[in-house]
A and B are shown apart, each in its own frame.
Chain A
Amino acid sequence: MKRLILFFAFTTFGFSQNYYLYVAAESDDTVSLIKFDGKSATELERIPVGIKFAETEGPHGLTVDPSGDYWYLSLAHGNPYGTLTKFSTKTNTEIATTELGYFPATMEISSLTGLLYCVNFKLYGTMTPSSVSVVDPQTMTEITKIPTGVMPHGSRISPDGRFQYSVAMMSGELYEVDTVSLEVNRVLQLDNNHHMNHQGMDHQGMHHSTTQPTWVIPHPSDSKVYIAGNSSNEIIEVDTDSWQIINRFKTGKGPYNIDITSDGKKLVTTLKGEGKTEIKNLKTGKTKIVDNTTKVSHGVVISPDNKYAFVTVEGIGGEPGVLDVIDIGKAKLVSSVNIGKQAGGIAFWKLEQ
């Protein structure tokens, strides 16, 4: 029924649609509000989000509240801890801020608990296990930190809201957190395909992952998650029922972020090392590659109608960051817009007729 309604809405009438997104520029301490009208993307507003002008705080992760009323931004650097800030989508002004851990990065809100789960990436410094911060976004209170692996990244929630998934980049693990009990449910070692629980382990002298996973995304309907192996140049398919790796798909260089269409058919992956984006048909296994505008492809989010993938590209040095819009069906770059330097975090806000 849902599919029929979507089909009716998106194809029969053929109304023009406007897509709205928030995109973070990590080296400019700005977030851009982008509108894409089906033909071209434009920057509607550039919002300053830094705290200290002379220090770059590094806006990294973004997510929009399920209601669409608020957006949330992680600022990676502080003194020393990073912060999470809540903004109004109506005014794009700050509402509240709370301090999290070292380099808070990717986040998402569970539809089941209403809580926000943000990984503390701890990208820099000594390689020690970090955590997932759990925040009540209504009061902007950090409720707890759940210890996970080394450099956790890619916080995404299962469709039922019950589990939060993240990958630990340097310890090469997939973490499943119970969003209700707020405890680690399961851990899967991705490097050598065997179960390995690092809970309570002394991480001194631990191995450095050969996979270096940077992202995980749950399938919208199947019991599977897909993981970007940034160093091993592969997408890893994990069956969440058996908690086993069932496939490893080779990719281009440096797969970094992933999104999946809501029908579960296509997987879109940024290839950071190549400045390209890969579109994979999960049924046929065929892939198509789209060149991004500049180098260092970073984030990706797919529109709810599954038509477009919005990809951030960092650029190098003084180059502007770029938001590329890719027509998924045609595997073609259809528009791009310059924003602040080092475009990274991205979140879809709304689709309007």
Chain B
Amino acid sequence: MRTILTLSTLLLSFFLTNLHSQDLFVKSDLQGLKLKIGETFEPETYAENLKGERLSCPYTFYYNKQGVFSRAKAISYDRNKGEIKANAPGKHEVVAVCLGLGDQRLSRTFDVEVGYAMVKEITITVPKDNYVSTYLDLSFNVVDEQGFERDGQKLNLTSSSEILSIDNTNNVKAVASGTAKLTAELDGVSATVEIKVSENPLSKIEITSNQEVARTGDVIRYTATGFDSSGNEIKNLPFEYTFYGKSFDVSESAAGTILNDGRFVAEEPGNYSISATLGDITSSKPLRVVARDIKREVYRVGNTVVPDKRTSDFWIFEGVDGRDYGVTGTHSADGTAFFWDVTDPTNMKKIDSIKVDARTVNDVKVSQDGTIAIISREGASDRKNGIFILDVTNPYDVQVLSEYTKNLNGGVHNLFIDNNHAYVLGTGERYYILNIEDPTNPVEVGMFEVGKEGQNIHDVWIEDGIAYSSNWRDGVYLVDVGNGIAGGSPSNPVPFSNYTYASGANHAAFPFKSKSTGTFYVILCDEIFPEGVNLTEPEITAGFCHFVDFTDLDNPVEVAKFEVPGTGSHNLWVDEDVLYVAMYGGGVRVVDISGELVGDLFRQDREIGYTMTGSPNGFIKNATMSWGAQVYKGYVFYSDMYSGLGVAKVSEDKPDTSNENQYIERTGIPD
């Protein structure tokens, strides 16, 4: 059979050799094709030369493309039957490829239109209470007979009464009291709802707040109460909250965030007015917003430069001898991890190193008792990767206790140590839980994975028996590994909450319970490199940290963000309602996260200070690429990919402004 096929191919090639120089065009009865959902069609595709002569395609196939990234499934192709099938409504691109005519690859894209099925049902959702002079908060849902929802199609709206006013973009306003029937129609199918509009019962609105003077970033709660003409309170009114403001600084705009429940937070100092409105009744309350006034000097205490390798993660710990030590990894280098004596942060010393068969030691962690360190391994020459468990009871003479590679040959990117267990990422798909009571013989006791096609994990962090794993597009998973909240244990990890967000860039997570409010948050930081990799210049990064309120574990809510314009986020640490976050090219940022959190924390001027972590002697000189931060005994330790391990201190002093503009003053203006 194969011989026949080969001969056929050869004969065909011979026959078609004089086609090489011809211009051939693909033609197909796909041109202008319209199908119904579920309909099949057997296309006829051929090639035509400039003379209009028709040549049969020895082989043809078809696929449905969408943009340039992946095949679409709106139209499928059954190669055995030679048929295409319409699976979804809309206009779709079908590529017809004609093979075997000489050495030319012939193809053409055709638009195939698949009609929508008939509209089956329209649903209109109407608020319970509607008042004169308000726009109605309506929603429409259109479903066709195939179950597809039709979004973005304009419905024909009509009202049985003039009490509803409908504008050109289908905004519906109640202009008088009474009852009206609102009808929405599309393709001959319609739905009608009865809407009752009441006179605005309000005579006045009283608005109160818990503060009359606030700082930027403070969340003020406004409560509107409505009263009728007799002075009786009317409950459950759908007030609309808005604000107006004037910044003290003429070069800034008053800005802030106001929520439907009346919470307001200002980003700029200034005079604001917060209003509650229902129909044409409104009431306002002034608010004076002053500067947060939390800026503090963040100065660098000391640093150790690793000039010839990129530095990765780090960990600072108290050794069994009571002195303080650190361990740092290296990235895209030679498999080295360094050990440091950091007892005197102004004079940190490299005291030992260990080199394993790897290119990247991305993560390093130390047990709570300061006796065991584990380093991760990527790029091993035998591709087994895994981890090395080290004895660090004497950090001046670190010893290898064991190497562990089972299920970890894909390279270990991150890990955590908690109560005689190591949580180790394997293959980027899941984390394995190893019992390391005998560190010379780690034993796998558990495993956790999201369990979805395409699952991908980047990091795991343990606190109070809960594992917080960052899973890129699958967001953060909270897993009971001994807390007891869901009956879990290291050998029986039990997930109990999850939060995802649109960008799918969840890279690291850190839990914290606010000391000032008691609210339980998990901070999720992105990692994004919008312009790919640059070998010789500092990288461009993007992304930010998402603050998610996990008070209701079944319904976590994203409430705030910390984003520094022009740079992206990486690893983080929280201590006493202060966030310490490495923002790659933006250095280490120190952020006040006390009190209730709503909106854009950076714009609210909650940043206490920052330090740029580059070094003139670094891997890339003077460039900052902050990796992570850790608060330890009053100091802020950090690692920087280009400069190594450093330490900073947040002073009680406000920033010194005495030198501001000195360079501008010294720079002459050229003629």
Contacts and interface: CB of A to CB of B under 8 A. Distances in A.
Contacts of B533: 29, 48-53
Interface string A142-174: 111000000000000000101000000000000
Given A27-B332, A81-B454, A141-B68, A51 B534 contact: no
A182 B61 contact: yes
A124 to B, nearest CB: 3
A297 B631 CA distance: 45
Interface string B362-393: 00000000000000001101010000000000
A79 B429 CA distance: 9
A107 interface: no
B535 interface: yes
Contacts of B411: 56, 124
A342 to B, nearest CB: 6
B328 to A, nearest CB: 15
A51 B335 CA distance: 22
A29 B370 CA distance: 35
B322 to A, nearest CB: 34
B2 A240 contact: yes
Contacts of B10: 160
A129 B417 CA distance: 33
B250 interface: no
Given A51-B532, A51-B533, A124-B409, A316 B381 contact: yes
Interface stretch (B18-26, B198-206, B211-219, B351-359): B351-359
Interface string A321-353: 000000000000000000001100000000000
A317 to B, nearest CB: 4
B442 interface: no
Contacts of A98: 68-70
Nearest to B529: A52
B100 interface: yes
B586 interface: no
State the majority secondary structure of interface residues on B: loop
A181 B81 CA distance: 12
B359 A341 contact: yes
B79 A181 contact: yes
Interface string A1-41: 00000000000000000000000001111100000000000
B95 A139 contact: yes
Contact of A180 (B59, B107, B378): B59
Contacts of A123: 383, 409-410
Nearest to B336: A318
A160 B6 contact: yes
A284 interface: no
B176 interface: no
B338 interface: no
B473 interface: yes
Contact of B70 (A94, A99, A317): A99
Interface in B164-216: none
Given A123-B383, A241-B3, A314-B381, A180 B359 contact: no
Nearest to A341: B359
Contact of B68 (A79, A139, A181): A139
Contact of B359 (A183, A295, A342): A342
Contact of B332 (A94, A143, A341): A341
A249 B170 CA distance: 78
Contact of A318 (B68, B100, B334, B535): B334
B314 to A, nearest CB: 14
Interface class of chain A by DSSP: loop
Contact of A56 (B95, B360, B504, B529): B360
Interface in B54-71: 59, 61, 63, 65, 68-71
Contacts of A27: 332, 359-360, 378-379
Interface in B462-487: 472-473
B529 A318 contact: no
A113 B99 contact: yes
Interface in A98-149: 98-99, 111-114, 123-125, 136, 138-144
Contacts of A280: none
A180 B95 contact: no
A162 B5 contact: yes
Interface string B400-430: 0000000001110100000000000011110
Given A27-B360, A241-B2, A136 B379 contact: no
A136 B98 CA distance: 12
A125 B535 contact: no
Contacts of B541: 53
Contact of A54 (B79, B100, B331): B331
B65 A79 contact: no
A317 B570 contact: no
A248 interface: no
Nearest to A243: B2
B70 A142 contact: yes
Given A56-B359, A162-B9, A342-B359, A124 B410 contact: yes
Nearest to B408: A124
A295 B9 contact: no
25 contacts: A26-B379, A27-B360, A29-B533, A49-B533, A50-B532, A52-B529, A53-B529, A53-B533, A53-B534, A54-B312, A54-B527, A54-B529, A55-B413, A56-B411, A78-B456, A94-B532, A99-B69, A114-B105, A125-B410, A136-B63, A140-B68, A143-B71, A160-B10, A241-B2, A296-B381
- Nearest 8 A/B pairs, CB to CB: A318-B334, A124-B410, A114-B105, A80-B456, A50-B533, A27-B359, A125-B427, A124-B427
Given A112-B100, A318-B335, 19 more contacts: A48-B535, A51-B533, A53-B529, A53-B534, A53-B539, A55-B527, A56-B360, A56-B378, A99-B69, A99-B70, A113-B97, A113-B99, A143-B71, A162-B6, A317-B334, A317-B335, A317-B381, A319-B334, A342-B381
